[in-house]
Amino acid sequence: MIYQIYPLSFADSNGDGWGDLGGVLDHLDHVASLGVDAVWLSPFFRSPMRDFGYDVSCHTEVDPLFGTIADADAVIAKAHRLGLKIVLDQVWSHTSDQHPWFKASASRLDGKEDWYVWADPRPDGTPPNNWLSVFGGSAWSWEPRRRQYYLHHFLSSQPKLNLRNPAALDAILATGRFWLERGVDGFRLDAVDFMAHDPALRDNPALPPPGGMIPLKPFGLQRHDHDMLHPDALDIMRRIRALTDEFPGTMTLAEISSQPGAFGRIADYARADHLHLGYTLRLLRGDFSAASLEDALREAAAAVDGGAMCWAFGNHDVVRVATRWARGDRTAQHALMMLLGSLPGAVCLYQGDELGLPEAELTHDQLRDPFGITYWPEFAGRDGSRTPMPWHALAPHAGFTEGTPWLPVPEAHRALSADRQEHDPRSALHGWREFLRWRKTVPALVQGRLGAVWREGDMLGFERVLGDTRLLCVFNLSPLPGRFGEDQAELPGWGTAFIPLSGDAESVAA
């Protein structure tokens, strides 16, 4: 199991209101106490922070906001002492427009003129094609020094790297080698579906509005055949895998978009000579129901070898699962915890979800996220899942900082602070610890493949199979009691059951 830390919101060690590596160091014991195996650290590299770390201006320097390279080394060393692996978030599809590489490319200097994706305007001066940014508007911005447009899939300040250029790819891989040599155990690779695009820059075909209604985000009005998902990305992944293979025991985890065919892409991306693991944003952005989860499990089973699959219900980009799916119901949260931990393959847990934190409700003047600011009030952005971790209920700002936090700490989160939950044996925190401790005693849950999948209304069941052991996992994904199976066994609302069907029954007694 992998625990995601978003450092800006984890803990502030110097009182400036921003989470930093010193704060991560101070609270790694909390993470280790959960019983997870690894920590995924969101970016702490040098950045102008227009997209809060996902716009990197130097991949081998720690931004002073987070501390120093010595702080990064200390986090890596302490994690290893605690038995935790460190997986760094790497943003290799794009950089900040403040990166020296982009400045040189924009000026056609130092042989870097083709390190980014440049294109001439159409005869009428408009962008070279109809591609759209995920964050809204054209995916192209004009650069007057070159008299050309450059490609950006997100903010205009996040220009797309041309990873078909061998020198550019070598340079980005060299930054990965820098961190591997410092002892990190692998990489989570951001936005891999955008690593390569159609070199002919053909227009994307239109999609009819879903349900006949124009969507909030026009990105959904195109079929993204050409601006992303290009098979040349596989060649880039082979190079990444070759690098990590030089460092035995390291791993790569790919973030895969919610575009159609996500599970098939995980299978393609996680072959023996490509990456190790992949997870898709499809579940994080889709509707929640037993039927939708059944579909996801069946698609995953048909497409992906179980060892390549990773699952996540939350992260720093989506509404917190306690609000989005559990709707504040503690029993539902407990069931979702057990469901997540029972899925085949690796699992990601986002910081604060072990406390059952709900989505924070922020006012427009409290927002930092440019995505949310652009689409307010119809879309509140990503800040509601990024508010600071509440460590101490009675401390200022719940113990996150002695200064003014970069995002406010909701009062509702104080009651769910880590220190209060430590003293409550019925808390979400204790529930996670107990479940993960039990999970490690059940080899079929940790190592078993996915067997039969079935659904009866809101009741979802699937088997985990390891050798001669078959374990049936059943989840009632409804607040109402329900029955399942030939003997019509009853489960209460949001109830769970683990039923040994064969093998060593004692080893799977919950």
**Residues acting as catalytic residues:** 190, 246
Per-residue b or e along 404-422, where b marks 16 or more CB atoms closer than 10 Å to that residue's CB: ebbbbbbeebbebbbebbe
Token pair listed for 131: 């591609």
| Torsion angle of the four alpha carbons 18, 177, 309, 27, in this order, in degrees rounded to the nearest 10 | -30
End-to-end CA distance of the chain: 19
∠ CA 213-216-221, nearest 5°, is 65
Can you say whether residue 161 is alpha, beta or left, with left for phi > 0 and alpha for psi between -120 and 50 degrees? beta
DSSP state of 138: B
Q: Is 208 exposed, middle or buried (0-12, 13-18, 19+ CB in 10 A)?
A: exposed
Dihedral sign computed on CA atoms, order 465, 466, 469, 475? negative
Tell me if residue 498 falls in helix, strand or coil.
strand
∠ CA 151-155-159, nearest 5°, is 35
Dihedral sign computed on CA atoms, order 465, 469, 475, 481? positive
Q: How far apart are CA 103 and CA 153, in angstroms?
A: 18
Q: How far apart are CA 244 and CA 271, in angstroms?
A: 14
CB 508 within 8 A of CB 469: yes
**How do beta strands 489-491 and 482-484 pair?**
antiparallel
Q: How far apart are CA 92 and CA 82, in angstroms?
A: 29
Distances, alpha carbon 158 to alpha carbons 101, 149, 317, in Å: 12, 13, 17
**How do beta strands 277-280 and 251-256 pair?**
parallel
Q: How far apart are CA 44 and CA 46, in angstroms?
A: 7
Q: Which amino acid is at 369?
A: D
- List 463's β-bridge partners, or say none: 472
Q: How far apart are CA 259 and CA 253, in angstroms?
A: 18
**How do beta strands 469-476 and 482-484 pair?**
unpaired
Backbone angles phi, psi at 118, to 5 degrees: -115, 150
Token pair listed for 341: 């931990």
**CB within 8 A of 190, min separation 6: which ones?**
54, 89, 90, 91, 92, 93, 255
